[in-house]
Amino acid sequence: MPGSDVPDVIAACDAMLPAMVERDPEWAGWCGVLVNVNDLAAVGAAPTALLDAVGARDASFAHRVLTGLRAAADAYGVPVIGGHTQLEVPASLAVTALGRTATPVPAAGGRPGMAVRLTADLGGTWRPGYTGRQWDSTSTRTRAELRAMVGAIGPDAPHRPAAAKDVSMAGVVGTLGMLAEASGTGAVLDVAAVPRPAGAGVADWLTCFPGFALLTADEHGAPAPSAGPATSAVCGELTGATGVALRWPDGEVTEAVAGGVTGLGAGQLLERNT
């Protein structure tokens, strides 16, 4: 964190969709912790603290949001050290997480030819009301299991990959596109090799929010992350092209992402600055 007296402090921040907070406040509170802890996990940082900012129509609704947030914080063993609550406003939630690592794992460290690996928790099921969009494995896990997953490439991990990103609402395909974009590469995903729960179809699994899932890029033969109950498999590679292609079991290759996902890759930023 620039300017910090503790040079190995990492910060992450995410806001929940207001419609999700309004519809399912306890789940929104849980996810506020989940997505931030996942962000820290992807850069190899150990989570140390959380802060929240909650907007709610009344104290009762705020309590529901904070109940979910507190449950997740307790599950992961990460303290909530402060925050802000505003009543008589539309539903909203933003959470900031602090973590520590002396050597962050970059999203931009991939190179053409590197193997792409997905490490994902295949336990659980679809969150009620979010079938095909949000997979919930984390709410039934023990603290030891959760900590093992988020520590997969953390400061104490025996091996850390060249690049990593946690799978976000963009799904496996979209997140792989972001990792490739940041690295200045393209990617091919072998659909049949992607770890997938028995209760999820291919299209849903490749595009949903999967709870805990981590995409990494590394040299071929590099060891898999030690991630507790999560399943890990090499399922693609980075290429010298752009975007993301899907390789199907019959060998057919189709385009899934034509180019950059965010417009924030090294190549795009260079073009904007020239």
pLDDT tens digits for 124-151? 999 999 999 999 999 999 999 999 999 9
pLDDT of residue 264: 76
pLDDT of residue 3: 58
How confident is the model over 239-267, as a mean pLDDT? 89
CATH T-level assignment (fold) for domain 115-272: Phosphoribosyl-aminoimidazole Synthetase; Chain A, domain 2 (3.90.650)
Neighbours of 101 (CB within 10 A): 19
pLDDT value at 1 more than 60: no
pLDDT value at 106 more than 70: yes
How sure is the predictor about 259, in pLDDT bands with cuts at 50, 70 and 90?
confident
Q: How is residue 78 written in tokens?
A: 């990460």
Give dist(CA 246, CA 167) in Å, integer.
Answer: 17
Give dist(CA 93, CA 86) in Å, integer.
Answer: 10
Mean predicted lDDT score pLDDT of the chain:
94
Give dist(CA 33, CA 20) in Å, integer.
Answer: 14
- What residues does CATH 3.30.1330.10 cover in the chain? 9-100
pLDDT value at 270 more than 60: no
At residue 46, the 3 state secondary structure works out as: strand
pLDDT of residue 156: 94
What CATH number was assigned to the domain covering residues 9-100? 3.30.1330.10
pLDDT of residue 105: 97
pLDDT of residue 118: 98
pLDDT of residue 157: 96
- What residues does CATH 3.90.650 cover in the chain? 115-272
Find the distance separating the first CA and the last CA of the chain, reported in whole Å: 28
Number of residues that this document lists for the chain: 274
State the number of CA atoms in the 13 A half-sphere of 136 facing the CB. 13
Phi/psi for 221 (5° steps) reads 90, -5
Edge-first strand order for the sheet with 80-87 is 9-15, 92-100, 46-56, 80-87
pLDDT value at 274 more than 50: no
Give dist(CA 210, CA 196) in Å, integer.
Answer: 10
